Amino acid sequence: MATPITSFVSPHVRHLASDLDLDSESLLNLLELAAQVKRTPARFAQTLAGRYLALLFEKPSLRTRMTFELAIKQLGGDAVVSTGPVGGREPVKDVARNLDRWTHGIVARVFSQATIDELAAWSSVPVINALSDRYHPCQALADVQTLQERFGALDGLKLAFIGDGNNVAHSLMLTAARLGVHVAVATPRGYEPDAEIAAQAARAGRITVTNDPEEAAANAHAVYTDVWTSMGQEEEAAERAQVFAKFQVNDRLFRQARPDGVFMHCLPAKRGLEVTDGVMESPRSVVFDQAENRLHAQKALLVTLLG
């Protein structure tokens, strides 16, 4: 017999401003729900009937916007989209208190984590962080779902993140480590993940931070990378291309992983920079599985917060 949808909803989860807003129990429940949503989407087709969400996008988006709009509509709800600065014409706290009078939830993809935190502080409806400079929790949820599908159990896996110690690295450390994954992050000197976030993650699981990409990739079940230059850092692109050159995920580095290891990327990818085309197109690449699972993981998140 299928588990009732309501049993997944945690009364303790109000917003997803950062990965740690989902406690370990809620995280496990959400992964179970994401698997059910993926297997039997019709069962959830009216879960958000009559619900409307505001999608706020300061940054351009393909996967995040498409998957959230589709997720909301496939769950029976609808969305309105606003692009441009959040709080540019009026205080963020006023934006939050307008939107919570009109909608049942706010999804925001922004430049600054402070914007997410202020929305959550003032909104009476759930706020979902769809990316900030500090965290990318929705991506991490899809990533652990992808690993679970590939390997069965998460406990005991090793995930190597190679490149910039950015928002994706932060969320992977905070989310995957709590599920028993050893997360090894390799960056050039000066580009390590935030020390406070690394320490938070290390209190819940096994974290390695190194400047040696081969050390991180050794015997890894997954080798993960992201663009070297994130949106808003375009003026650093030429410098970063030189600094990160030895951190490219190519055939040589990928061979350090386990024979059954997979390649992961949150996309979009700059082929020829952080990853070669050969690795991207390898049979062991699961990048499009990750992209697909953004839809399913976010459906589970919406059901958890709004169902």
On whether the CB atoms of residues 171 and 139 are closer than 8 A, the answer is yes
How far is it, in rounded angstroms, from Cα 113 to Cα 170?
Answer: 13
Candidates 15, 51, 109, 296; catalytic one: 109
Determine the length of the chain: 307
Q: Is 266 a catalytic residue?
A: yes
Candidates 51, 294, 296, 298; catalytic one: 294
How far is it, in rounded angstroms, from Cα 198 to Cα 244?
Answer: 21
Tokens representing residue 4 in the block: 């009732």
Rg (CA), the chain: 19
Q: Is 134 a catalytic residue?
A: no
Q: Is 109 a catalytic residue?
A: yes
Candidates 143, 145, 240, 266; catalytic one: 266
Tokens representing residue 38 in the block: 């993926």
On whether the CB atoms of residues 298 and 4 are closer than 8 A, the answer is no
Candidates 145, 221, 226, 240; catalytic one: 226
Candidates 136, 170, 221, 240; catalytic one: 136
Q: Is 139 a catalytic residue?
A: yes
- DSSP state at residue 7: G
How far is it, in rounded angstroms, from Cα 306 to Cα 101?
Answer: 15
Candidates 51, 65, 104, 139; catalytic one: 139
Catalytic residue numbers read: 109, 136, 139, 226, 266, 294
